[in-house]
Structures are given as structure tokens and as C-alpha cells.
Amino acid sequence: MTMSTNQPVLKVTDLKKAYGAIQAVGGVSFEVRPGEIFGVIGPNGSGKTTLFNSMLGQITPDTGKIELNGQNVTQLGPLELNRLGVGRTFQTLQVFGKMTVRDNLIVAAQEHQGTMFSRMFAPSDSNLGDKADALIDQFHIRHVADKKAGELSYGQQKLVDIAMAFMSEPALVLLDEPCAGVNPSLVGGISTLLKDLNKTQRADGKASSFVVIEHNMDFVMDLCHRIMVMVEGKVMAIGTPAEIRANKQVLDAYLGS
């Protein structure tokens, strides 16, 4: 992958969030480059979830700044961020179980365009249908496209959930443990899909950037261009997978020697 040297897609500067006496995130700074897959790892309690929720607009940090393509988005909520080009998945599946797979993807694109009410009652859109069909084929779920999402296996629902995040051709996709609960046989397939999506150009001719939180270390090391290690709310190291593997401080604190 060739990454641009232009301004970062995402820039987080000195982000802090405390809950009473507990400093969940204690001055975290990093950048995500155009077209980059950026991993975030760390033991439980390291601040990953609080950081992620701040970037998603679900919580407001105490201090610090979050910028999307140079725009300060620190105070924006999830819907506003989505309309600015931020896609996301959550550790807990967000599919509509009583809707077909194809309709789930269409609703995900409508989320980019309107309110929950308008999404639920909007008529079918042929343009959104074309996008949905393209992702259905890319995710190899054509055989279940007309089934209700709630009838699928967990792994198939996970694929639908990830596909939904890409329906609006986001500039930045935040993926919260995409392998959580997934059969190990599917993990390699998810990695391949994400690599292919990362190489796919959007309508504006650019590739999406990803931020991935994941406990599966082999998955992160294989997928990500750079990795940030968090411990106790702070950044311990940022580097390529090879650099992280060779970092003795990281090995001692997290990965194990």
C-alpha cells in the first residue's frame, strides 16, 4: 500500500477522559494516515474502549482534540460523524434481525442520509440497492442476501455488520473487535476482506482508512500497517508490526516474552 503524505485522516491530540479518580485515557495522541490500517491494542483496562467511544462521538473527552481531515470534531455526536464520513462497527452486533441482509445494507446507507425514522420507512432506492449488491458479492454472502439477518449464523451476521459499515463509502472506519466471537476459521476471511476493502477506491478516488481494536494478536499483526499499544490509559508505543514485536517494553508489559 502506498500512503499519501497529505494531512492525516484522523488526528487525536492529548486526549484525556477521567471517571472520578480513574484516568481512563491520560493524554493520548496519534494520527491515522490516508489509506492506513491502524491497530490499537492493550490489556483490559488500558483505555481502548474509552478512546474508541470518544472517536465515535459517544462520549465527550475532558480535554484534547479529535480532528477529521483537519476539522475539529471533538464535540460531535455519532450521526454527525457518520455524515462526515465515519463508519463504524461495534463489538455487539448492530444488525436488524427481522430485515433481510440486503435491506440491512440499504438501511445502513440511509443512516448516512437521514434520521432513524426516515431510514425505517423510506422506500427502496435502486442506487442503494446496487451498492448493497456489490458489497454482498464482495463479502461472499449472496446465498443469504434475501434471508432475514436474525436467521444467520453469528459469523454471517458479523460479515453483514461489517459490510453495513462500508455502505456509505466512509473515509474512516472504526472497527471494534471484528473477530470477537467469530469461529477461528472465519478470522482469515475477515482479514482478507478488510485488506481488499482497504485497497478499494471510493467514488472520490481515495481509499478508506481503518482503526481496529482487536484482542486477536495474530489478526492485528497481519492486518495493520501500524499499531498503537496502550497501557493504563497512555500510549506505550506506536510502530509497524515488526517494530512492536521487537519492542522489549511492549513484550514485557503486554505481549509476553
Residues 79 and 174 in one domain: yes
Final residue belonging to a domain, choices 126, 150, 166 = 166
Q: Tell me which amino acid residue 230 is.
A: M
Residues 161 and 177 in one domain: no
Q: What is the DSSP letter of 254?
A: I
pLDDT of residue 130: 84
pTM for this one?
0.88
What CATH number should be reported for the domain holding residue 35?
3.40.50.300
Residues 23 and 70 in one domain: yes
User: What's the total number of domains in the chain?
Assistant: 2
pLDDT digits (tens, 9 = 90+) for 182-223: 888 889 999 999 999 998 877 677 888 999 999 888 899 999
- Report the distance separating Cα 28 and Cα 124, nearest Å: 43
Residues 124 and 241 in one domain: no
| Closest listed residue to residue 211, CA positions, set 256, 170, 152, 242 | 170
Segments forming the whole domain that contains residue 134: 94-166
Residues 254 and 134 in one domain: no
| Nearest 10 degrees: Cα torsion 89, 39, 15, 26 | 120
pLDDT digits (tens, 9 = 90+) for 220-246: 999 999 999 999 999 999 999 999 999
Residues 77 and 63 in one domain: yes
- Report the distance separating Cα 136 and Cα 238, nearest Å: 35
Residues 42 and 55 in one domain: yes
Residues 223 and 251 in one domain: yes
pLDDT digits (tens, 9 = 90+) for 59-117: 999 999 999 999 999 999 998 998 899 998 877 788 889 999 999 999 888 755 554 55
| Closest listed residue to residue 210, CA positions, set 235, 176, 179 | 176
